[in-house]
Chains A and B, each alone.
Chain A
Amino acid sequence: VLQQQKNLDGYVGFASLPNQVYRKSVKRGFEFTLMVVGESGLGKSTLINSLFLTDLYSTEYPGPSHRIKKTVQVEQSKVLIKEGGVQLLLTIVDTPGFGDAVDNSNCWQPIIDHIDSKFEDYLNSESRVNRRQMPDSRIHCCLYFIAPSGHGLKPLDIEFMKRLHEKVNVIPLIAKADTLTPEECQQFKKQIMREIQEHKIKIYEFPETDDEEENRLVKKIKDKLPLAVVGSNTIIEVNGKRVRGRQYPWGVAEVENSDHCDFTILRDMLIRTHMQDLKDVTNNVHYENYRSRKLAAVTYNGVDNNKAKGQLSTKSPLAQMEEERREHVAKMKKMEMEMEQVFEMKVKEKVQKLKDSEAELQRRHEQMKKNLEAQHKELEEKRRVFEDERSNWELQQRLEQQKMEASRTLEKNKKKGKIF
């Protein structure tokens, strides 16, 4: 479609579109699903409470570390929070038992299964004929808690992130960062990022924008990854201010002090600036990957595998079937033509054979006829010859007879003295 740039000669008013979108989005409300994963005791519940400034986890609703069962569970709780007229339906998914057993092989499997089942639910509701409510319970972000060993990642950390980085936005966090000095923290971060790169793990990336200012901020954040956080459920008075923090004999580690930890960076990024992007990436990348793999499996189920390999077509399963139908029609036409050809050829052969045998018989008949005619003629000739001979002989006989008669009569007459 040809497009042209047009300059407007005055205010039209579609510049209000963003306001219209704003208004409608507030009316609709927002939802967000956050998953927290890590061994017990890393401060996950505390961090969530600190992030959302509410008692999501409490004595009534204990955190994952208090709910460990024999196997790794994946559990969720929904809370509704309001701020500035904006409604947010927040779902926190936690995984009690993760990494806490002696043998942690496959402890990530229930988590992968959970994420996939949410994708599956969404895919099914998106594919229904009657689509009404499409609840979006897909996981938008996974906060992965790394124990503050100060050395590097554990094998379980690497294994988990490798298996999940293409299914969900993974944000690794250094937990309980107040056990590391700034230098130790710096080293730790460098080591972790090195290992992440080494294992080609794709953690959530901040999108680049056209805005230079924003890009500078993004770069600053990138240099601090992974974020080292501290959480607290208690409020302490520091220099006349009431802040969330952890009281130690030697001082107070303030949660929201950027010199003490990266909590504010995490909060700002996760909630204030990139929450929408996390949802978009989940929808446009992770979900689409799941969907295309699922649909390809359904579409090519039964079809020649060579076709399906490597060539993940962009066609819909219906278009695929349409194409198969067309191929089949063409194949059938070809088959029909070939069969027709073979048939014609065989018929021709048989007809020819018939003709040949007819000709042969005809020939033989002619031959016999000729033969017979020749015999006839020969016989005729023979008869003619014979009859000639006979009539000649008979004539001769008659002449002789006459002669004899004549001479006898003469004799008789002589005797009688008739003849002088």
Chain B
Amino acid sequence: MSNVLSRVFQNEEKRNLSLGGHVGFDSLPDQLVSKSVTQGFCFNILCVGETGIGKSTLMNTLFNTMFENEEASHYQNGVYLRPRTYDLQESNVHLKLTIVDTVGFGDQINKEDSYKPIVDYIDTQFENYLQEELKIKRSLFNYHDTRIHICLYFIAPTGHSLKSLDLVTMKKLDSKVNIIPIIAKADTISKSELHKFKIKIMSELVSNGVQIYQFPTDDEAVSEINASMNAHLPFAVVGSVEEVKVGNKTVRARQYPWGVVQVENESHCDFVKLREMLIRVNMEDLREQTHARHYELYRRCKLEEMGFKDTDPDSQPFSLQETYEAKRKEFLGDLQRKEEEMRQMFVNKVKETEAELKEKERELHDKFEQLKRMHQDEKRKVEEKRRELEDEMNAFNRKKVACETLSSQPLKKDKDKKK
């Protein structure tokens, strides 16, 4: 986290002046705090872990309240995320707490895609915030921030090592969210086993390049406690909402035949350490890291994906106006091109069909030309026959006439003969 001084440009002069009395701006942190108290705080926890590992119980124990929770079945088809929001108040501080549970995690036979709904959920919250941030008329100061501030990853207390599902999931999440790994149901592991287990887990995380949340050590006020807590990761926790009388006190604990595991006893488990780190010391830092690191990374990737750049090909910085105008030009050009393509397609289609129809027309024309010719032939034949007939008729008539003339003659001849 940078100090404001680092934001002064190198060549800008700034003078250090001493004050001749009490001016009063030392109240600035109080003014800021008072404003944020009035606004209220928001905190969003994501619990990732197998069904029955103790996520709900731990939440109830951490926040000293009974959050609603139906027990999940082991037969979910896939993993789904169930967010629930609660309004809590402690002295004058209002906290809007959202607990997101991963239902069905680790229950399927094929767990290859188990991490996906989780990553999608985290990205969706980033996306929603980004959309609000990009709006023309926006109201960020009363926006209900749903971005996940912390992911508590529940590790099963096998005592051996991390499951491959754990490694895969944490690797997918470590660039998107602050992860604090915790060993659940730690009352099933002995102290020596636990020590080995923690070392194994941490070395596996390191060798697989999984980035978990480091409690910050840059602020002298808390650097010591944070540094020592970093060494106790992952926290081995036990949760319980039942109360047991131990001595003359009533404490939250789990009662076994062989003894009572006290949740808030630091030699029994790390619950107190978790609560201290998560809530009482670093809650604000978790919020800050989410906003300044994880969200910025998401935003940067998203904008780059959409083709936004900070500098043009000549490495000159774009102004916002130029960026949007360039994007807009590209976008409009794209639309224009699509329109042209469609028109062109139609022009071609029309041309094709016209050619087809012309072809058909020509065929039809040919056909009828043929028929016409046939008809002409037939007509000619008929004409010929008609002429033939006429000729025959004429010939016959001539013959007839000739015969008639002749038929009056033979009598004469005979008569002549008689003489």
Mark A residues whose CB is within 8 Å of B: 1-18, 20-32, 51-56, 61, 77-89, 120, 123-124, 127-131, 133-136, 209, 267-268, 271-277, 280, 284, 288, 291-292, 294-296, 298-299, 301-302, 312-321, 324-325, 328, 332, 335-336, 339, 343, 347, 350-351, 354, 357-358, 361, 365, 368-369, 372, 375-376, 379, 382-383, 386, 389-390, 393, 397, 400, 404, 411
A contact patch SS = helix
Please measure, in the bound complex, the distance between the C-alpha atom of A10 and the C-alpha atom of B252, giving whole angstroms. 11
Decide yes or no whether B328 CB sits under 8 A from chain A: yes
Contact A14:B403 (CB < 8 A) given known A25-B32, A28-B1, A87-B5: no
Contact A314:B137 (CB < 8 A) given known A3-B96, A53-B19, A81-B23: yes
Residues of B within 8 A of A56 (CB): 17
Give the one of B25, B30, B300, B368 with max A CB within 10 A: B25
Contact in complex: B308, A129 (CB < 8 Å): yes
Contact of B135 among A134, A316, A343 (CB under 8 A): A316
B contact patch SS = helix
Residues 89-103 of B, flagged 1 when their CB comes within 8 A of A and 0 if not, give: 111110110100000
Please measure, in the bound complex, the distance between the C-alpha atom of A97 and the C-alpha atom of B414, giving whole angstroms. 164
Decide yes or no whether B206 CB sits under 8 A from chain A: no
Contact in complex: B364, A272 (CB < 8 Å): no
Contact in complex: A31, B19 (CB < 8 Å): no
Contact A316:B134 (CB < 8 A) given known A87-B4, A302-B332, A361-B368: yes
Contact in complex: B324, A15 (CB < 8 Å): no
Kindly specify which of B78-86, B227-235, B254-262 makes contact with the partner chain: B78-86
Shortest Cβ distance from residue A284 to the other chain B in the assembled complex, whole angstroms:
5
Please measure, in the bound complex, the distance between the C-alpha atom of A391 and the C-alpha atom of B24, giving whole angstroms. 150
Contact in complex: A273, B308 (CB < 8 Å): no
Contact of A14 among B14, B141, B283 (CB under 8 A): B283
Contact A277:B64 (CB < 8 A) given known A80-B15, A288-B138, A400-B407: no
Residue of chain A at shortest CB distance from B327 = A321
Contact of A29 among B4, B317, B360, B403 (CB under 8 A): B4
Contact of B17 among A80, A299, A313 (CB under 8 A): A80
Residues of B within 8 A of A54 (CB): 17-20, 23
Contact A129:B63 (CB < 8 A) given known A4-B87, A18-B37, A382-B389: no
Residue of chain A at shortest CB distance from B216 = A24
Decide yes or no whether B339 CB sits under 8 A from chain A: yes
Contact in complex: A14, B328 (CB < 8 Å): no
Shortest Cβ distance from residue A128 to the other chain B in the assembled complex, whole angstroms:
5
Contact in complex: B288, A24 (CB < 8 Å): yes
Contact A372:B378 (CB < 8 A) given known A3-B96, A79-B14, A361-B364: yes
Residues of A within 8 A of B35 (CB): 276-277, 280
Contact of A5 among B22, B29, B87 (CB under 8 A): B87
Contact A319:B23 (CB < 8 A) given known A8-B90, A29-B3: no
Residues of A within 8 A of B375 (CB): 365, 368-369, 372
Contact of A335 among B284, B335, B342 (CB under 8 A): B342
Contact in complex: B95, A317 (CB < 8 Å): no
Residues of B within 8 A of A24 (CB): 1, 219, 284-285, 288
Contact of A15 among B64, B93, B284, B393 (CB under 8 A): B93
Contact of B28 among A3, A86, A128, A357 (CB under 8 A): A86
Give the one of B63, B146, B288 with max A CB within 10 A: B63
Shortest Cβ distance from residue B301 to the other chain A in the assembled complex, whole angstroms:
9
Residues of B within 8 A of A386 (CB): 389, 392-393, 396
Decide yes or no whether B70 CB sits under 8 A from chain A: no
Decide yes or no whether B321 CB sits under 8 A from chain A: yes
Mark B residues whose CB is within 8 Å of A: 1-9, 12-33, 35-38, 41, 43, 62-65, 67-68, 83-93, 95-96, 98, 131, 133-138, 141, 144, 146, 218-219, 221-222, 275-276, 279-285, 288, 296, 299-300, 303-304, 306, 308-310, 317, 319-321, 323-325, 327-328, 331-332, 335, 338-339, 342, 346, 349-350, 353, 357, 360-361, 364, 368, 371-372, 375, 378-379, 382, 385-386, 389, 392-393, 396, 400, 403, 407, 410, 414
Please measure, in the bound complex, the distance between the C-alpha atom of A115 and the C-alpha atom of B171, giving whole angstroms. 46
Contact in complex: A343, B4 (CB < 8 Å): no
Contact of A80 among B16, B303, B385 (CB under 8 A): B16
Contact in complex: B26, A12 (CB < 8 Å): no
Residues of A within 8 A of B27 (CB): 271-273
Residues of B within 8 A of A7 (CB): 65
Residues of A within 8 A of B304 (CB): 129
Please measure, in the bound complex, the distance between the C-alpha atom of A129 and the C-alpha atom of B410, giving whole angstroms. 136
Contact in complex: A22, B320 (CB < 8 Å): no
Contact in complex: A8, B357 (CB < 8 Å): no
Contact in complex: A88, B15 (CB < 8 Å): no
Contact in complex: B93, A271 (CB < 8 Å): no
Contact A14:B90 (CB < 8 A) given known A271-B24, A336-B342: yes
Please measure, in the bound complex, the distance between the C-alpha atom of A382 and the C-alpha atom of B288, giving whole angstroms. 117
Contact in complex: A3, B86 (CB < 8 Å): yes
Give the one of B15, B218, B309 with max A CB within 10 A: B15
Residues of A within 8 A of B327 (CB): 321
Residue of chain A at shortest CB distance from B133 = A316
5 contacts across the A-B interface (CB closer than 8 A): A12-B88, A17-B284, A124-B317, A386-B393, A393-B400
Beyond the given pairs A6-B65, A13-B275, A298-B324, 16 more chain A to chain B contacts, judged by CB atoms under 8 angstroms and listed by A's residue number, are A17-B95, A54-B20, A78-B8, A80-B14, A80-B15, A80-B16, A86-B29, A131-B296, A272-B24, A284-B141, A292-B137, A343-B349, A365-B372, A372-B378, A379-B385, A397-B403
